[in-house]
Amino acid sequence: MGKSLRLTRIRNIDVKAHPTFLLALLWVIYYWGYAAGHGVQGVLFGVFILIAAFVSVVGHELAHCFVALRLGLKVHDITLLPIGGVARIEYVSLTPRQEIAIALAGPFLNLMVAGLLSPVIIGILVVRDFGDALSAFLVLQETGFSALIVHLWLVNVLLALFNLLPAFPMDGGRVMRAGFSMIWGRLQATKVAVLLGQGLAISLLLGGILLRDVSLPMVAAFILIAAYVEARMVHLENAMRTLPVGQFVLWDLGGVQPDSPLNYALRGGVRDVAVTVNGTVVGMLWQEAVHPLLNSASKLRVRDVMDTDVLTMDVDDSVYDVHRQMLTTGRPAIPITENGIYRGIFTTDRLIHVYRYLQSGKSPRERYRGFVEALGLAGR
Ligand SMILES: [Zn+2]
DSSP code per residue over 117-142: HHHHHHHHHHHTT-SSTGGGGGGGGS
Note the pLDDT of residue 364. Answer: 57
> Rounded to the nearest whole angstrom, what is the distance from the C-alpha of residue 60 to the centroid of ligand 1?
6
**Mean pLDDT score across all residues of the chain:** 80
> Rounded to the nearest whole angstrom, what is the distance from the C-alpha of residue 22 to the centroid of ligand 1?
21
Listed residue (353, 347, 344) closest to 331, CA to CA: 347
> Rounded to the nearest whole angstrom, what is the distance from the C-alpha of residue 198 to the centroid of ligand 1?
18
> Rounded to the nearest whole angstrom, what is the distance from the C-alpha of residue 169 to the centroid of ligand 1?
9
pLDDT tens sequence across 298-312? 788 888 888 888 889
pLDDT for 128 beyond 80? no
Candidate from 250-254, 363-367, 371-375 with smallest mean pLDDT:
371-375
> Rounded to the nearest whole angstrom, what is the distance from the C-alpha of residue 56 to the centroid of ligand 1?
11
Q: What percentage of the chain exceeds 70 in pLDDT? A: 86
> Rounded to the nearest whole angstrom, what is the distance from the C-alpha of residue 66 to the centroid of ligand 1?
12
Distance CA 282, CA 302 (A): 11
> Rounded to the nearest whole angstrom, what is the distance from the C-alpha of residue 107 to the centroid of ligand 1?
6
> Rounded to the nearest whole angstrom, what is the distance from the C-alpha of residue 61 to the centroid of ligand 1?
6
> Rounded to the nearest whole angstrom, what is the distance from the C-alpha of residue 117 to the centroid of ligand 1?
20
pLDDT for 1 beyond 60? no
In CATH, 245-348 is 3.30.70.2740: no
How many CB atoms are located within 10 Å of the residue 107 CB?
23
Note the pLDDT of residue 113. Answer: 93
> Rounded to the nearest whole angstrom, what is the distance from the C-alpha of residue 92 to the centroid of ligand 1?
18
pLDDT for 318 beyond 80? yes
Break the chain into its structural domains and give their ranges: 5-164, 188-242+351-380, 245-348
> Rounded to the nearest whole angstrom, what is the distance from the C-alpha of residue 111 to the centroid of ligand 1?
12
pLDDT tens sequence across 263-305? 777 777 778 888 888 888 888 888 888 888 777 777 888 888 8
Listed residue (230, 242, 236) closest to 189, CA to CA: 230
> Rounded to the nearest whole angstrom, what is the distance from the C-alpha of residue 377 to the centroid of ligand 1?
25
pLDDT tens sequence across 25-58? 787 777 767 776 667 777 787 788 888 888 899 8
> Rounded to the nearest whole angstrom, what is the distance from the C-alpha of residue 171 to the centroid of ligand 1?
5
Residues 6 or more apart in contact with residue 343 via CB below 8 angstroms = 246, 249, 251, 252, 315, 336, 337
pLDDT band at 378 (very low <50, low <70, confident <90, very high): very low
Note the pLDDT of residue 363. Answer: 55
> Rounded to the nearest whole angstrom, what is the distance from the C-alpha of residue 164 to the centroid of ligand 1?
8
> Rounded to the nearest whole angstrom, what is the distance from the C-alpha of residue 103 to the centroid of ligand 1?
6
Report the Cα 295 to chain-centroid distance in Å: 40
Q: How many helices (H) and strands (E) does the chain have?
A: 13, 10
Q: pTM of the entire structure?
A: 0.64
Note the pLDDT of residue 63. Answer: 93
Note the pLDDT of residue 107. Answer: 94
> Rounded to the nearest whole angstrom, what is the distance from the C-alpha of residue 104 to the centroid of ligand 1?
8
> Rounded to the nearest whole angstrom, what is the distance from the C-alpha of residue 163 to the centroid of ligand 1?
6
Q: Are 90 and 76 in contact (CB under 8 A)?
A: yes
